[in-house]
């Protein structure tokens, strides 16, 4: 059986980043790119990756910018905006000479997958996204949402301050513990789980990327000029036309599960939605079999699309 833990990490360079990643499974098989969130790391897929590799898929698990051994090569690498995260997926594929792949992720990784699938559909054979369509309308950032959900987004507002920047720099693991506990109230993670993930937060770009991500999405910081055109396209909430499986965890402590209809207008290809019982926000680590099944389900959606 394949193992993410024993797979040696590799590195590849794009024009912006040196990306550290794991590569499991048959190298000539259909690739799947697994995209983690914040504050998490590639070990959110510690059970997902070997299951997919054993099913005959090539599984690529990169550290997102600012995490692990993925480091910036210029100032654009310090941006945390959605356009940058999406562009990173395609630039990673270019560096590995991959024509296309399945994108599957949650949180930041789900957003990266949505952006890449919407803007470069020819590179995406299917998408799995936890909590649905995640491309953000930055112009609408000042519109308040339900206070119960706002309360769980405390770190958005904390990171908008210089006190928050200093707090993140000083308390990377402790902040992650608070977010994990609230976002996944039924996930009984261990100190060892958190310690393993927190090693990825020691990246020298981590604080810059995280702070910029949350300030940009609240309209409090400009995007990097390199991503201006792409960000302008995202402002129109572009549709995703590839097959999509969306997942919600029934026990997500901050994002209540839905039936998926609220964002279905953005998903113009074959689309199915599932609620995963007792799973929280870090769904791949909490319910790995359900996440794997969603990826494998994309084959059925693609076949259905071909038969129409």
Count of the separate structural domains present in the chain: 1
Question: Has residue 164 been placed in a domain?
Answer: yes
Per-residue pLDDT reduced to its tens digit, 17-57 = 999 999 999 999 999 999 999 999 999 999 999 999 999 99
Question: Has residue 272 been placed in a domain?
Answer: yes
Question: What domain range includes position 119?
Answer: 10-307
Cα separation, 32 vs 48, in Å, equals: 11
Question: Has residue 3 been placed in a domain?
Answer: no
Question: Has residue 288 been placed in a domain?
Answer: yes
If pLDDT is split at 50, 70 and 90, which confidence band does 302 have?
A: confident
Question: Has residue 38 been placed in a domain?
Answer: yes
Cα separation, 286 vs 118, in Å, equals: 27
Judge whether residue 274 has pLDDT over 90: yes
According to the model, what pLDDT value does residue 308 have? 59
Residue ranges of E strands in 30-123? 31-35, 58-62, 71-72, 101-105
Are 68 and 42 contacting, i.e. CB atoms less than 8 angstroms apart? yes
Instruction: Please tell me whether the overall predicted TM-score, pTM, comes out greater than 0.85 for this model.
Output: yes
Angle at 158 between CA 209 and CA 183, to 5 degrees: 85
If pLDDT is split at 50, 70 and 90, which confidence band does 88 have?
A: very high
Question: Has residue 55 been placed in a domain?
Answer: yes
Are 242 and 100 contacting, i.e. CB atoms less than 8 angstroms apart? no
Per-residue pLDDT reduced to its tens digit, 160-207 = 999 999 999 999 999 999 999 999 999 999 999 999 999 999 999 999
Beta bridge partners of 13: 18
Flag the least confident range among 112-121, 123-132, 253-262. 253-262
Cα separation, 242 vs 22, in Å, equals: 25
Question: Has residue 253 been placed in a domain?
Answer: yes
Supply 272's token pair: 């199915």
Are 22 and 7 contacting, i.e. CB atoms less than 8 angstroms apart? yes
Question: Has residue 2 been placed in a domain?
Answer: no
Domain with 290 in it: what CATH number?
Answer: 3.40.50.1820
């Amino acid at each position: 059986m394949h193992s993410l833990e024993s797979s040696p990490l590799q590195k590849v360079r794009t024009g912006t980043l040196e990306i550290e990643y794991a590569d499991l499974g048959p190298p000539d098989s259909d690739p799947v790119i697994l995209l983690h969130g914040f504050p998490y790391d590639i070990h959110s897929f510690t059970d997902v990756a070997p299951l997919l590799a054993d099913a005959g898929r090539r599984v690529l698990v990169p550290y997102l910018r600012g995490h692990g051994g993925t480091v910036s090569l210029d100032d654009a690498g310090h941006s945390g905006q959605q356009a940058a995260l999406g562009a990173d997926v395609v630039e990673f594929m270019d560096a590995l000479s991959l024509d296309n792949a399945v994108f599957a992720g949650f949180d930041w990784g789900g957003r990266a997958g949505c952006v890449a699938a919407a803007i470069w559909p020819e590179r995406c054979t299917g998408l799995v996204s936890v909590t649905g369509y995640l491309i953000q309308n930055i112009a609408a950032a000042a519109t308040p949402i339900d206070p119960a959900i706002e309360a769980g987004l405390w770190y958005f507002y904390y990171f908008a301050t210089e006190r928050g920047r200093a707090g993140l720099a000083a308390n990377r693991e402790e902040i992650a513990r608070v977010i994990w506990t609230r976002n996944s109230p039924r996930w009984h993670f261990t100190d060892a789980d958190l310690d393993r993930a927190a090693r990825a937060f020691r990246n020298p770009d981590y604080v810059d990327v995280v702070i910029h991500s949350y300030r940009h999405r609240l309209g409090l910081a400009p995007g990097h000029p390199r991503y201006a055109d792409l960000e302008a396209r995202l402002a129109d909430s572009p549709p995703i036309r590839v097959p999509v499986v969306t997942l919600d965890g029934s026990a997500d402590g901050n994002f209540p599960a839905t039936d998926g209809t609220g964002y279905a207008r953005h998903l113009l290809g074959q689309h199915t939605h599932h609620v995963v019982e007792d799973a929280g926000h870090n769904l791949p680590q909490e319910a790995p079999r359900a996440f794997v099944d969603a990826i494998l389900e994309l084959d059925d959606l693609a076949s259905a699309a071909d038969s129409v």
